[in-house]
Amino acid sequence: MQASKQPRVALNARVSRALRRRFDTVAAYRGVTKQTAVEEALRLWIAQPSTPRRRMIDLPLIKSDRPGTLNLTNEQIDDILFG
């Protein structure tokens, strides 16, 4: 089904007055309706690849079979890491 033949639904958004004025000006300058401009902006925004959000991880990453059996001092950890 073509985009122009699909049923329309309302979309409401609260934006700053300055942004609304700029949007109206640019849409008029380009000779497009506000509806067309919003649809184009939404399509462009949706088409952009999104970066995955950072999420919490469970620690430890590698679970020990015998937790608590390894006792290292800070100096020993330093030697292991920075040798």
3-state SS assignment for residue 83: coil
Residues ≥6 apart with Cβ < 8 Å to 64: 70
- The pLDDT score that the predictor gives to residue 1 is 41
Q: What is the mean pLDDT of residues 27-37?
A: 95
Mean pLDDT of the chain: 88
Q: Are 57 and 50 in contact (CB under 8 A)?
A: no
Task: Decide if pLDDT at 55 tops 50.
Answer: yes
Q: To which residue do tokens 């001092």 refer?
A: 73
Residue 3: pLDDT band (50, 70, 90) is low
C-alpha angle 71/72/75, rounded to 5°?
160
